[in-house]
Amino acid sequence: MITGLWLPIITPFKDGAVDFKSYERLIEHYLALGIDGLFPLGTTGESPTLDAAEIDELVERTVATVAGRVPVFVGVGGNATAKVEKELKRLERHACEGIVSVCPYYNRPSQDGLLAHFRAVAAATDRDVLIYNIPYRTAVNLANDSLLELAEVKNIVGVKDSSGSIAQSLELLARKPADFSVLTGEDALYFTMMANGAEGGILAASHIMTERFVEVGRRFAGNDVVGARAAWAPLVPLVPLLFAEANPMPIKYLLWRQGLISSPECRLPLTRISDGLARRLDAVVEKRLAA
C-alpha cells in the first residue's frame, strides 16, 4: 500500500542549471522531517522544462541520496502513449520503486482512450504505477468507474486524486478496493480526505511547515481526529498563499528565504512571484521564526 505524506519535490535551479547541491540537501532535510515517500519530476518539479540528461541525473541522484529510506516514484507521463512507453524503457535502469503518470493532457481522450493508455503504460513497466487525475490541468477527467477498472491491473496501485470535485473524491473513497491507495493531491483538502479514509497525500504545500503535515497524518493513523484538526489549523491560511501564483514559484521563494535552496529561480515560462505576494510570504517566515 502507498500511504502517508509524499513530497512532490521541487527542482532547484541556479544560473539556468539544475542545482544538484541544493537538491540533495533538500532530500536530506525532508527525510529528517519524516516524509513517507518522494516524487521527483512532477509538475512541481518543473519536469516539462528538463532535458533527458537532467532527468537521468535527477533520478540517479534521488535514488542514491534516498538510499532506500523511503520509496521513490518518478513522474513519467504524457499525451502520446508510445512516447511514455519509450521513456519508461529509457528510465528502467534506475532503481526507483514506481512511477506517477498523469492523465494525457490537451488531446482530451475518451474514457476508452484513458483506459487503453494506462493499460499500455502499466504493461510497459514492472514498477508500481500511481495514476494522477487532475482534470483542471489536463482538460480530461478520469471517471471513477474507469479508475476502478484500472485498479484491477496488478501494478496500478493507486491514484493521486486531484479531481477538483469533493463529491467524486468521496465517492472514490467509498468504492475503492481495500488494497488500492487514494492519495489526495488537493493540498487544501488534506484534512478532509484523511478524515474520510484517504491513505495519504502528495502535497506540494508540504515543502513548508512539513512537520505539521506529518503530524496530521500521524494523528489520523492514531485515530486522533481532534489532534489532527489542531495540527491542521495553522496550515489553513498558509496553503492558499502557496498557490496564489503559479506553483512552484511561491514555494521556491519561501525555500530560498529559509536558506534551503540557493535561488528561487524557475524556468520559463515561469518567472518569479509578485512583490505583493513576496511580502505576504515574508510575513509567514517571520511569524514562524518568532514562534
- 136 catalytic per annotation: no
For residue 271, the one-letter residue type is: T
pTM: 0.96
Phi/psi of residue 267, nearest 5 degrees:
-100, 145
**CA separation for the pair 234, 220 (Å, rounded):** 17
Q: What is the pLDDT of residue 196?
A: 97
Question: 51 — phi, psi (to 5°)?
Answer: -90, 175
CATH class of 4-236: alpha beta
Residue 132 identity (one-letter amino acid)? Y
Q: Which residue type is seen at 232?
A: W
* Catalytic option among 23, 132, 190, 253: 132
Active site residue 253: no
- One-letter amino acid for residue 139 of the chain: A
In terms of C-beta distances under 8 Å and separation of at least 24 residues, what long-range contacts does 143-146 make, across chains too?
143/111, 144/168, 144/171, 144/172, 144/175, 145/111, 146/111, 146/114, 146/115
Q: What is the pLDDT along the chain (291 residues), one digit of tens a residue?
A: 899 999 999 999 999 999 999 999 999 999 999 999 999 999 999 999 999 999 999 999 999 999 999 999 999 999 999 999 999 999 999 999 999 999 999 999 999 999 999 999 999 999 999 999 999 999 999 999 999 999 999 999 999 999 999 999 999 999 999 999 999 999 999 999 999 999 999 999 999 999 999 999 999 999 999 999 999 999 999 999 999 999 999 999 999 999 999 999 999 999 999 999 999 999 877 776 565
Q: 23, 30, 160, 190: which one is catalytic?
A: 160
Cell 484513458 belongs to 114
For the chain, domain boundaries = 4-236
C-alpha cell at 279: 511580502
pLDDT at residue 228, rounded to an integer: 98
